[in-house]
Structure 1
Amino acid sequence: MGGHFTAPAAALADELPGWVTLLRAPNPGPMTLDGTNTWVLRAAPGEPAVVVDPGPADDGHLAAIAAQGPVGLVLITHGHPDHTDGSAPLHDLLGGVPVRAADPAHTIAAAPVGVGTPPAVPGIDLRLVPTPGHTGDSVCFLVEHQGQRVVLTGDTILGRGTTVVAHPDGHLGDYLSSLELLSTYTGIPALPGHGPALADCAAAAEFYLAHRRARLDQVRAALAAGATTAAEVVAIVYADVDRSLWWAAEWSVRAQLEYLGRESGDTGVGLEQT
């Protein structure tokens, strides 16, 4: 559980509910896997849909989203550019459809989620699930239609591999708490921000928790062995990760070091500058 892995954290979903459509943006890469997942949820033909995470400002991708109209609402799981750069042009393309995110900076023509009226479209029950950790503004959405439920997890849980804790905005303590919350959603499919849909949100969250705890043990061991900087910890703990991704691993290590510092009461543990 402590090693680097790129496989799904739980079994893949056999199929998507009939009211869920996946549009994958053409932005594949080491951090985005096959590309950003844009999810379109619609209760019935002709009803306004909700779009979750417009993705990048790619004209073809945004046109594909608009072709799924009518759209009544756009939701954002967190503010990273690969999820939000398309928000403003999609807002315009859809004639001013509101965009709601936890961060007001990514909210357009509406109140942020968590403020005022809960997000709503006809026939679909949308519930906000605050899940900070990957970023400070990360949220998930528990969605139900005709007895079927899904959890849109953004980058809190991915379809393959693990996500980074984007220090200093992201915090590991918050992330562990968010995973504990998601581990209660037993048997509910997870629709992630990248990668394939997973059959069981709880199983994926539990796997992530075990992986994160194993990583913390590895970081403790690296510190005990004499590592004094985040870069030195990365070189030991993430030795099996391609060096081109060490910059991202250092985000998570800095979050891990901050967490261990709070745990021990030593807020400076391992945080010397590199």
Structure 2
Amino acid sequence: MSLTHPAYGRLRAVAPTASVLLANNPSQMTLQGTNTWILRAPGRSDCVVIDPGPQDPEHTAALVRETGGEIALALVTHHHFDHTGGIDGLVAETGTPVRAMHPAHLRGSALPLADGEVIDAAGLRLTVLATPGHTTDSVSFVTDDAVFTGDTVLGSGTTVLESRDGALGDYLASMDKLAAVAPGRRLLPAHGPDHPDAEPVIAYYIQHRRERLAQVRAALAELGADAGTMEIVAKVYADVDRSLWPAAASSVQAQLAYLRAAEN
């Protein structure tokens, strides 16, 4: 019987060259857990891993078991601990080199990932897309039939933006880049279920972000131009569980910076 999402600690085939191992770290921020992707070309025993996952010995052991330890390269979508906590355990077990955009997560390599870079490893070819917005160092990976979006596009719900100035502008540009490569490819995110067609999911994300921006703009018109972040969160995210309001505040701060910069 084929596995369906979520399947903890068991390798679930998704595409001809991609399978997922779901970490057992569910939360409101990680959804059902962190997806560690294992990519293997036909006829090859070695593989590429995307996002080693959290610091969890059981997840690392399952990853070593399912790959036979033959990991030609591990790649990281961004620096958050639920994606990078398992790096050192995996390196200790397999010796795999690790590449990321953030230098702190490089292992066995001195080269941070670069936008537009083409990676050939284990008989596979992946193109790196810098997709900042969720974090400054967020990247996505594109293969012939899939796009691995990290936390930039999730399998359900929406992502949280950094609170920094420029984050929303970066994120909208990232979504345009993803929309350009989406046709004909699967969406394989770092959290939530995969989707056979990336295009409508990314289109929804763009629409949703524009709608949220309009809601923040309307809240400012009602509450006043100097309204505080949490005032706007309470207005715009009134239907969202209050435990998620701190995360929403980060996105609202990014949207306020975007709107106020546009006025100047």
- TM-score normalised by length of structure 1: 0.86
Give the deviation of 1:37 after TM superposition: 0.2
One-letter amino acid of the counterpart of residue 233, structure 2: V
Q: Partner residue of 2:223?
A: 226
Structure 1: where are the runs of 5+ without partners?
1-14, 266-274
1:86 pairs with 2:78: no
One-letter amino acid of the counterpart of residue 207, structure 1: Y
Listed one character per residue, the Cα deviations across residues 124-181 of structure 1 (whole Å, up to 9, x for unaligned) are 111111111111000000023xxxx110000011000101102228701000111111
CA distance in 2, matches of 1:80, 1:256: 22
One-letter amino acid of the counterpart of residue 100, structure 2: A
Identity %: 48
Q: Partner residue of 2:192?
A: 195
SS in 1 for 2:14: coil
Q: Partner residue of 2:171?
A: 175
CA distance in 2, matches of 1:42, 1:199: 18
1:127 pairs with 2:127: yes
Q: Partner residue of 2:9?
A: none
SS in 2 for 1:119: strand
* 4+ residue segments displaced more than 4 Å: none
CA distance in 2, matches of 1:98, 1:170: 32
Q: Partner residue of 2:6?
A: none
Instruction: Answer yes or no: is the 8 Å Cα contact 1:180–1:206 preserved in 2.
Output: no
One-letter amino acid of the counterpart of residue 104, structure 2: A
Q: Partner residue of 1:33?
A: 31
Give the deviation of 1:122 after TM superposition: 2.8
CA distance in 2, matches of 1:169, 1:141: 25
- Tell me: CA distance 1:141–1:63, structure 2 relative to 1, closer, same or farther (3 Å): same
Q: Partner residue of 1:255?
A: 254
Instruction: Answer yes or no: is the 8 Å Cα contact 1:166–1:251 preserved in 2.
Output: yes
Give the deviation of 1:108 after TM superposition: 1.3
Give the deviation of 1:45 after TM superposition: 4.7
Give the deviation of 1:119 after TM superposition: 2.9
CA distance in 2, matches of 1:163, 1:121: 29
Selected match of 1:44 from 42, 53, 61 = 42
Selected match of 2:205 from 202, 208, 231 = 208
SS in 2 for 1:108: coil
> What are the within-5 Å matches in structure 2 for residues 57-72 of structure 1?
57-67=55-65, 68-69=67-68, 70-72=70-72
1:98 pairs with 2:97: yes
Q: Partner residue of 1:18?
A: 16
Instruction: Answer yes or no: is the 8 Å Cα contact 1:136–1:169 preserved in 2.
Output: no
SS in 1 for 2:121: coil
Q: Partner residue of 1:114?
A: 114
CA distance in 2, matches of 1:224, 1:169: 21
CA distance in 2, matches of 1:167, 1:248: 9
CA distance in 2, matches of 1:220, 1:212: 12
- TM-score normalised by length of structure 2: 0.89
Instruction: Answer yes or no: is the 8 Å Cα contact 1:136–1:170 preserved in 2.
Output: no
Q: Partner residue of 1:163?
A: 159
Instruction: Answer yes or no: is the 8 Å Cα contact 1:113–1:119 preserved in 2.
Output: no
Structure 2: where are the runs of 5+ without partners?
1-12
One-letter amino acid of the counterpart of residue 241, structure 2: D
Listed one character per residue, the Cα deviations across residues 180-225 of structure 1 (whole Å, up to 9, x for unaligned) are 1111221210100001111222221111111111111100111111
The count of residues paired between Structure 1 and Structure 2 equals 246
Q: Partner residue of 1:242?
A: 241
Query: Relative to total residues, which structure has the larger helix share, 1 or 2?
Result: 2
Instruction: Answer yes or no: is the 8 Å Cα contact 2:118–2:125 preserved in 1.
Output: no
Give the deviation of 1:232 after TM superposition: 0.4
Listed one character per residue, the Cα deviations across residues 35-86 of structure 1 (whole Å, up to 9, x for unaligned) are 0000000113543200000110100100111111311100000111111111
